[in-house]
Amino acid sequence: MAGVQTAVQLREQGWPGGIRLIGSEHHQPYDRPPLSKAVLLGKSEDAAFDVDFASLGTDLELGREITGLRTAERMLETAAGTVGYDHLVIATGAEPVALPGSEGVRGVRLLRTLDDAARLRPVLAARGEVVVVGAGWIGAEFTTAAREAGCAVTVVEAAGQPLPGALPPEVAVHMRDWYEQSGARLRTGVAVRSVERGGVLLADGTRLRADAVVVGIGSRPATGWLAGSGIELGGDGGVLADEWLRTSAPHVYAVGDCASFPSARYGERLLVHHWDNALQGPRVVAANIIAATLPDGEAELAVHDPVPYFWSEQFGRFIQYAGHQTGGDELVWRGDPGEAAWSVCWLREGALTALLAVGRPRDLAQGRRLIERGAAVERERVADAAVALKKAVR
């Protein structure tokens, strides 16, 4: 998404020069959300972007592995030779975290790429027993698809509740029942000790039989190839971009899952691994590349500081999240989490900082606009699910 949209935005904003889009996969560039839904279930063969790269004036180079970067010479190193550049945009995304000790074990699967989805389709078609390691967003979405396909599913999560790190436990606890209601079994508070032939061994000594083990325990920026390049990385492995999405090297930008950026809105650096960030960032990168070619003072640089947003479909529910919350923010419920539709808001100094909406898209749309504006709100009206959020403004 981030690489393709950068090429699209460069053309739409008037970039006159050449554009080369280089990727390691052999497939046409594709969208990722359908991989855990329609593609996984065999309802769609692929998720390729509807982009005519030839008419866009973009050279698409597939199956080309990037191995390094020499910023002083403006040279990108690939397995097929070096590539020179005037401006470079790093959009290498993220890669899934492997379960320790599972590398190379037969029957262990990940879900990140189109090839991953293709390898998992026969697993679902066989309607066997599947163990899912990790009850995060990917784990929940895969479990939803596997249950729809008729598989027996056990989900193992080392944390005490699903969605650890993404949502506070007092919110995530209300999502536990979704697994049981779907017919899946959820085991929390226990880690996987090892993957064995035909199953997994848990830390408490329990053995779970499995025809396949699907690992979804998180992802990390795909930036290992930048070692020795001089591009500054953060402790999370993400490229440290500035508010204009420039890296520590001249003429090099970073966008999407592989890059963190300083948010003036939230007063901290954010690393956002979601689709919308890979859509928003390229507009800023394209504008700033074009601005860099103009005489000094003729163009103002664009700032990247969006309200983070993502969505997920799982267990028959449509979940949306906007903003960024921390442990110090006040949590305010809107509606009963035992019902089909409800929301949670987070407030800081009288303003909305984040919102989670389950089956309440209007809350999300209105709340997102309030976060963008930094509008002060009345807590009592925010807590009243019968009151439209836009009417909670002071």
Token pair of 371, please?
């976060």
Task: Give the strand pairing for 317-323 and 309-314.
Answer: antiparallel
Residue range 318-352, pLDDT digits in tens: 999 999 999 899 999 999 999 999 999 999 999 99
Residue range 142-173, pLDDT digits in tens: 999 999 999 999 999 999 999 999 999 999 99
Three-state secondary structure readout of 247-311 = CCCCCEEECHHHEEEEECCCCEEEECCCHHHHHHHHHHHHHHHHHHCCCCCCCCCCCCCCCCEEE
Where does residue 387 rank: exposed (0-12), middle (13-18), buried (19+ CB within 10 A)?
Answer: middle
Helix (H, G, I), strand (E, B) or coil at 174: helix
pLDDT of residue 14: 96
Residue position matching structure tokens 């699907």: 214
Domains and CATH numbers, the chain: 2-94+219-292 (3.50.50.60), 98-215 (3.50.50.60), 316-392 (3.30.390.30)
Distance CA 148, CA 319 (A): 18
Residue 104 has pLDDT above 80, yes or no: no
Q: Which of 19, 28, 18, 69 is nearest to 48 (CA)?
A: 28
Q: Looking at residue 377, what DSSP letter applies? A: B
Residue range 214-249, pLDDT digits in tens: 999 999 999 999 999 999 999 999 999 999 999 999
Q: How confident is the model at residue 361 (pLDDT cuts 50, 70, 90)?
A: very high
DSSP 3-state helix, strand, coil percentages of the chain (rounded to 5)? 25, 30, 45
Tell me the CA distances in angstroms from 158 to 89, 140, 192, 204, one per residue in order.
37, 15, 8, 11
Q: Which of 143, 374, 93 is nearest to 256 (CA)?
A: 93
Q: What percent of the chain has pLDDT over 70?
A: 100
For residues 118, 122, 124, 130, the Cα torsion angle rounded to the nearest 10 degrees is: -100
Q: Which of 193, 208, 183 is nearest to 130 (CA)?
A: 208
Alpha helix (H) residue ranges in 127-258:
137-149, 169-172, 176-182
The secondary structure element, H or E, covering residue 4 is helix 2-12
Residue 297 has pLDDT above 80, yes or no: no
Whole-model pTM: value is 0.95
Helix (H, G, I), strand (E, B) or coil at 36: helix
